[in-house]
Amino acid sequence: MKETPLSNCERRFLLRAIEEKKRLDGRQTYDYRNIRISFGTDYGCCMVELGKTRVLGQVSCELVSPKLNRATEGILFFNLELSQMAAPAFEPGRQSDLLVKLNRLLERCLRNSKCIDTESLCVVAGEKVWQIRVDLHLLNHDGNIIDAASIAAIVALCHFRRPDVSVQGDEITLYTPEERDPVPLSIHHMPICVSFAFFQQGTYLLVDPNEREERVMDGLLVIAMNKHREICTIQSSGGIMLLKDQVLRCSKIAGVKVAEITELILKALENDQKVRKEGGKFGFAESIANQRITAFKMEKAPIDTSDVEEKAEEIIAEAEPPSEVVSTPVLWTPGTAQIGEGVENSWGDLEDSEKEDDEGGGDEAIILDSIKMDTGVEVSDIGSQDAPIILSDSEEEEMIILEPDKNPKKIRTQTTSAKQEKAPSKKPVKRRKKKRAAN
């Protein structure tokens, strides 16, 4: 779906507000939105909310053979996906530019900075190493995807535990989580991206732009830093020209912000660790706030199934026995068998309608019976040409018989009735049951 264009008055309003140092949500120039980090039940699954922007991160691992030129290092794989629910403009085929840019930036930030110790992922040099895969999904787009994604990635990596492995000579033993506690990854430092949006050719600067502000910005500067004030990646896009001291000032701001965010991350990880150790409840289900009016929980509920058996027996007693299904297969040649007789073939009708007149009565085309999963096909006996033939439909076609007494010409028309679809949807279910009963 195309993005709704930003109106001129909205654009002017935003720019004027920025000139007067005002932001739409009341933040100051250097303020970040609220960051909320929650964890799932599995290790390595986390959700980060930066204001309304939501990113889901999931880490998984696998034992593979290493790359040929790096036989002693593990493999890291990052993937950011812009889900279609994040914004109407994100369609599976259509977002390549932004997607490529974000993925590249994320890779440079996490891989080239060597924040994960890949040597420790090696199990047997040249044969088996761990491949760590980080999948990030953007669930809601309210600006500043890259910051949220980098936080989600590093949090998920810190939270993840890989299975323990021991090597004795030639034998590699992989322990399940029940046998031995899984082992965390060895992480040297935590690089976090901080975005700066520039307006009016670099005159005004905003930290953590939201979606509206991103639409009217001139350019974006992204600095990835860790808490030791080491710059891991720096990228300027949008073609704005920045002065040296502007860039230095931004890096100082980034240093402050990264320190705050890192503290938040460490606290969240610690809390989660504590809850797990004490045996309390953890997971996304717990992080749904109770007080929010849009959230609702229900505890485990017992269901009374004492009368289930009686009910079932009643139904079976009332139901008629399954009708005889033709189940003797006819073997044509080795490898080709036929069960039952198919629907009358109507494809050839439009061209061969003259031929049909010649052939006269019998028009049973023997086709291999294909069980249609989506649509029910009801075949009434074609023997008597007088009765109207009802072939109920798939979504596209409806057969209307115009001349029931002669060989009919069939016309296909579009059907728009939704009601007809409900009935056939029950048929395939029953058919499947009948076949099982016969077997």
Q: Is 336 a binder of other proteins (CB under 8 A)? A: no
Question: What is the separation of C-alpha 307 from the centre of its chain, rounded to a whole number of angstroms?
Answer: 40
Q: Is 305 a binder of other proteins (CB under 8 A)? A: yes
CB of 435 to other proteins, least distance (A): 12
Contact window for other proteins (CB under 8 A) among 12-20, 27-35, 194-202, 283-291: 283-291
Residues 6+ apart with CB under 8 A from 228: 189
CB of 436 to other proteins, least distance (A): 8
Convert 292-327 to b/e letters by CB count within 10 Å (16 or more is b). Answer: eeeeeeeeeeeeeeeeeeeeeeeeeeeeeeeeeeee
Q: Is 284 a binder of other proteins (CB under 8 A)? A: yes
Q: Is 388 a binder of other proteins (CB under 8 A)? A: no
Contact window for other proteins (CB under 8 A) among 276-284, 323-331, 354-362, 400-408: 276-284
Q: Is 235 a binder of other proteins (CB under 8 A)? A: no
SS3 per-residue string spanning 385-429: CCCCCCCCCCCCCEEEECCCCCCCCEEEECCCCCHHHHHHHHHHH
CB of 271 to other proteins, least distance (A): 14
Q: Which amino acid is at 155?
A: V
162 DSSP β-pair partners: 183
CB of 225 to other proteins, least distance (A): 29
Enumerate residues 344-383 that contact other proteins by CB under 8 A: 374
Q: Is 277 a binder of other proteins (CB under 8 A)? A: no
Q: How far is the C-alpha of 55 from the C-alpha of 156, rounded, in Å?
A: 11
Residue 84 CB burial class (10 angstroms; 0-12, 13-18, ≥19): middle
Contact window for other proteins (CB under 8 A) among 67-75, 116-124, 181-189, 294-302: 294-302
CB of 295 to other proteins, least distance (A): 5
CB of 297 to other proteins, least distance (A): 4
Which of 277, 242, 44 has the alpha carbon at shortest distance from 161?
Answer: 44
Structural contact between residues 258 and 225, judged by C-beta atoms closer than 8 angstroms: yes
Which of 315, 330, 325, 345 has the alpha carbon at shortest distance from 410?
Answer: 345
**Member of 293, 324, 361, 405 binding other proteins (CB under 8 A):** 293
**Member of 97, 245, 278, 309 binding other proteins (CB under 8 A):** 309
**Member of 26, 279, 334, 383 binding other proteins (CB under 8 A):** 279
**Member of 23, 33, 141, 257 binding other proteins (CB under 8 A):** 141
Q: Is 244 a binder of other proteins (CB under 8 A)? A: no
Residue linked to tokens 């994320």: 106
Q: Is 208 a binder of other proteins (CB under 8 A)? A: no
CB of 281 to other proteins, least distance (A): 3
Residue 358 CB burial class (10 angstroms; 0-12, 13-18, ≥19): exposed
Q: How far from 19 is each of 7, 160, 246, 411, 414, CA to CA, in Å? A: 19, 44, 17, 67, 57
Contact window for other proteins (CB under 8 A) among 134-142, 183-191, 349-357, 363-371: 134-142
357 vs 396, which CB is nearer to other proteins?
Answer: 396
Q: Is 291 a binder of other proteins (CB under 8 A)? A: no
Contact window for other proteins (CB under 8 A) among 100-108, 109-117, 351-359, 424-432: 424-432
Q: Is 274 a binder of other proteins (CB under 8 A)? A: no
Binding footprint of other proteins, residue count (CB under 8 A): 64
**Member of 176, 281, 324, 402 binding other proteins (CB under 8 A):** 281
**Member of 6, 256, 288, 400 binding other proteins (CB under 8 A):** 288
CB of 180 to other proteins, least distance (A): 17
Q: Is 325 a binder of other proteins (CB under 8 A)? A: no
289 vs 331, which CB is nearer to other proteins?
Answer: 289
The continuous run of DSSP H or E covering 130 comes out as strand 128-140
Q: Is 282 a binder of other proteins (CB under 8 A)? A: yes
Q: How many CA atoms lie within 13 A of 327 on its CB side?
A: 10
Convert 35-47 to b/e letters by CB count within 10 Å (16 or more is b). Answer: bebbbbeebbbbb
Q: How far is the C-alpha of 340 from the C-alpha of 328, rounded, in Å?
A: 8
Enumerate residues 22-81 that contact other proteins by CB under 8 A: 40-42, 45, 47, 52, 54, 56, 58
Bridge pairing between strands 128-140 and 53-64: antiparallel
Which of 103, 98, 129 has the alpha carbon at shortest distance from 116?
Answer: 129
Residues that bind other proteins (CB under 8 A): 1, 40-42, 45, 47, 52, 54, 56, 58, 83-88, 135, 137, 139-142, 279-286, 288, 292-305, 307-309, 311-313, 315-316, 374, 416-418, 421-422, 425-426, 429, 433, 437
